[in-house]
Structure 1
Amino acid sequence: MSAIISGIGWHIVGAASAASFYAPISKVKSWSWETTWAFAGLFSWILLPWVVTSFLIDDFASFYSVVDSKAFWGMFLFGAMWGVGNVNYGLTMRYLGMSLGIGIAIGVTLVVGTLMPPIINGTFGTLITTTSGQITMGGILVALAGIAIVTYAGHQKEIALGTTAQEFNLKKGLFLAVMCGIFSAGFAFGLEAATPIKDASLALGINPLYAMLPSYGIIMGGGALVNLSYCFIRLAIKPDLSIRNDLSQPMTGLLINGSLAALGGIMWYLQFFFYAWGEASIPEHLSFANWMLHMSGYVLCGGVVGLLLAEWKGVGSRPVRILCIGMLVIVGAANLVGLGMANA
């Protein structure tokens, strides 16, 4: 039981890092979003995954040689799928606004990323016929209800503050949010495909808490290819964007912007660093719940961060009360999932 509690706790730590990573990025001045995102991504998708792996593995060539090409390309392509979801994420915000966009996208990501692996593996039937599985499934449904409540609270906040989407389009926004949710679940599928690397890590004597980390360079490499291509293509073809202009400011400004973007990238990577710790603590036959814990924790921590940063100031007490109710429901969902695991 203590391992399960520890696993849920590490998922919350990772989710808190995910919910906070954009705070330093939002402070970057005089850089285009594309340059900022690419620079942050250099740290989160490329540098940190391989630096961390280099501390765990001495001989990359011999270690990765045991992974067959099917598993390798599976991880990379699922990572690219997740990268497409990241690009759609920004477009979803454009047409639906932050609250509706995030709520719908994360809700779809939670369902797809949580339920598809056991369906594909043929274990879903067993899952819904056992008491522990049914309790865990109940926790997933409660988490979705909590996300819906938090989303509604956020939408009420936007109305109170007069914040609207740049080009509100419900039909287009819903389509993009669903696509974002489906494609973003690619990371969960990539982790499922990374089982051979996890097994190789354990065989090498690597601590189980770190066993999944050597797969991140491959999965995130696929996401980096999509995200960086998108950023650099826009910088090349959009007349109002130029990386040369972004980098032409005084050295002090470059150092500040670079540090803020790098910090955001590091915080973004840390969400999956601690995801690996949480995943290592959850019983393997209930590993499908890891993604649910991460995504619902992301919404929970996002609400807490928003309150701490005074983003809800001036909206009135009703939206804040609804937000708190939604967060309590998500906490209840995590407890249900923990109860289901304890009865496994």
Structure 2
Amino acid sequence: MLTGLLLVCLAGAMAGLILAPAKLMRTYRFENYWLIYSLSGTVAIPWLLAAWALPDLPGFLAGLSGAAMVTPGLFALSWGVASTLGGLAVARIGLSLAYSLVIGLGAAAGTLVPLAWFYPQLLTESSGQIVIAGILVMVGGLVVVTKAGQARERQSGAAAGGDSGAFAAGVLMAVLAGVLAAGLNFSFAFSTGTVRAAERAGASGTSATYPVWALAMLGGMIPNLGFSVWKLTANRTWSIFRAASSGEALLGVLMGILFIGSTVVYGLGASRLGPLGTSIGWGIMQTMQIVVGNAAGFVTGEWRGVASGPLRLLFAGLALLILASAIMAFGNYAKGL
């Protein structure tokens, strides 16, 4: 179980850094780097990994039922919408606050739904109630971190004449993204049959999840690529690809690597956490993502010059989120007692 816990924490750390490379871009606009991120993270790398795991990938896919083929993509379609909304929210309310809202809400939904669907009896047992307590602490931490972000925004807005309407729109985007983001976890949680089929087809225990993520990204790529192409055309920013340096394209690819890497590592960790892996693992991964996302916000200067009050709120909220992870991990451990 310790290995699974470490893996989901690593996945959260990787996920928390996905949007950080965008802060280093000077020429690309959102739609430019989002297209490269989407092509690498939701198209190229997932299918390369699936083909590596199963050399006869077409034969394997032909043997799956229609439901097994479609279910991961349908769930991940909602995540694809959330991914795009989350990227737009970052531009309006900053990396720290957007991550806290999107990941916090997605963590609550992604933890509770698999638990209630697969193990409803645990909701009345001590282990399940410990997990629910961890979720409540996580929501409390989310509220505190959000208040810290609002205080920071009021301070910087007063200093720079910030647009409160843009901030409100960014918060709304982040909330919607958070609700929809849990679809990525559902695509994995409801595809255990496909993982077992991959193992029977010759995939190792480590790589058997790769075909699930490839199928999921068929749905996840649609809103990501579609929105990027629409924005590139509407804003006439295709030419930026020629004007920008190759380094910016590589940063976009790095975003894709961090995304699919975190997704794959999460699958490996969740499968090692036992029956509650897709609930406990998701919650722990997401809280770690918030912590690392806020750390990235510090590094990129989002909190530079902010008064001590908002910073104390932020640290208190992050402490609650770390405590929530510990409580949920103990709930998983208590199930085995």
When the two structures are superposed, what TM-score results if normalisation uses the length of structure 1? Answer: 0.87
Q: Give the match for residue 302 of structure 1.
A: 293
Residue 31 of structure 2: which of 30, 34, 42 is its match? 34
C-alpha contact 1:17 1:271 (8 A) present in aligned 2:
yes
Q: Give the match for residue 256 of structure 2.
A: 265
Residue 330 of structure 1: which of 321, 325, 333 is its match? 321
Q: Secondary structure at the match of 1:248?
A: helix
Query: CA, structure 1 residues 18+166, in 2 after alignment: closer, same or farther (shift >3 Å)?
Result: farther
Q: Give the match for residue 282 of structure 2.
A: 291
C-alpha contact 1:32 1:241 (8 A) present in aligned 2:
no
Q: Secondary structure at the match of 1:67?
A: coil
Residue 246 of structure 2: which of 252, 255, 260 is its match? 255
Matched, 1:114 2:111: yes
Q: CA deviation at 1:308?
A: 3.8
Which structure 2 residues correspond to residues 59-78 of structure 1 after superposition, within 5 A? 59-78=56-75
Query: CA, structure 1 residues 118+66, in 2 after alignment: closer, same or farther (shift >3 Å)?
Result: farther
Unaligned residue ranges in structure 1 (runs of 5+): none
Matched, 1:24 2:21: yes
Q: Which amino acid aligns with 1:28?
A: M
C-alpha contact 2:95 2:297 (8 A) present in aligned 1:
no
Query: CA, structure 1 residues 173+257, in 2 after alignment: closer, same or farther (shift >3 Å)?
Result: closer
Residue 127 of structure 1: which of 122, 147, 158 is its match? 122
State the alpha-carbon separation in 1 of the partners of residues 45 and 323 from structure 2. Answer: 34
Q: CA deviation at 1:165?
A: 5.2
Q: Secondary structure at the match of 2:165?
A: coil
C-alpha contact 2:20 2:296 (8 A) present in aligned 1:
no
Q: CA deviation at 1:25?
A: 2.3
Q: Give the match for residue 133 of structure 2.
A: 138
Q: CA deviation at 1:174?
A: 5.7
Deviations 1:193-241 (A, max 9, x none): 32222111232453333322221111112111111111112222x2x42
Query: CA, structure 1 residues 20+27, in 2 after alignment: closer, same or farther (shift >3 Å)?
Result: same
State the alpha-carbon separation in 1 of the partners of residues 296 and 52 from structure 2. Answer: 32
C-alpha contact 1:113 1:188 (8 A) present in aligned 2:
yes
Q: CA deviation at 1:115?
A: 1.6
Q: Give the match for residue 152 of structure 1.
A: 147
C-alpha contact 1:99 1:152 (8 A) present in aligned 2:
no
Q: Which amino acid aligns with 2:223?
A: V
State the alpha-carbon separation in 2 of the partners of residues 140 and 314 from structure 1. Answer: 32
Q: Secondary structure at the match of 2:305?
A: coil
Which stretch shows the higher mean deviation, 325-334 or 282-291? 282-291
Q: Which amino acid aligns with 2:156?
A: L
Deviations 1:18-57 (A, max 9, x none): 1112222222232232121101211111111112222211
Deviations 1:93-112 (A, max 9, x none): 56766555443333322222
State the alpha-carbon separation in 2 of the partners of residues 310 and 226 from structure 1. Answer: 30
Q: Secondary structure at the match of 1:55?
A: helix
Q: Give the match for residue 333 of structure 2.
A: 342
C-alpha contact 1:132 1:343 (8 A) present in aligned 2:
yes
When the two structures are superposed, what TM-score results if normalisation uses the length of structure 2? Answer: 0.89
C-alpha contact 2:187 2:216 (8 A) present in aligned 1:
yes
Query: CA, structure 1 residues 296+209, in 2 after alignment: closer, same or farther (shift >3 Å)?
Result: same
C-alpha contact 1:94 1:166 (8 A) present in aligned 2:
no
C-alpha contact 2:78 2:181 (8 A) present in aligned 1:
yes
C-alpha contact 1:210 1:276 (8 A) present in aligned 2:
no
Q: Give the match for residue 246 of structure 1.
A: 240
Query: CA, structure 1 residues 290+205, in 2 after alignment: closer, same or farther (shift >3 Å)?
Result: same
Residue 272 of structure 2: which of 265, 277, 281 is its match? 281
RMSD: 2.4
Q: Give the match for residue 223 of structure 2.
A: 226
Residue 317 of structure 1: which of 297, 308, 314 is its match? 308
Deviations 1:171-205 (A, max 9, x none): x6665444322222211221123222211123245
Aligned length: 332
Unaligned residue ranges in structure 2 (runs of 5+): none
State the alpha-carbon separation in 2 of the partners of residues 175 and 114 from structure 1. Answer: 22
State the alpha-carbon separation in 2 of the partners of residues 285 and 165 from structure 1. Answer: 43
Query: CA, structure 1 residues 97+255, in 2 after alignment: closer, same or farther (shift >3 Å)?
Result: closer
Percent identity of equivalent pairs: 25
Matched, 1:89 2:86: yes
Query: CA, structure 1 residues 128+119, in 2 after alignment: closer, same or farther (shift >3 Å)?
Result: closer
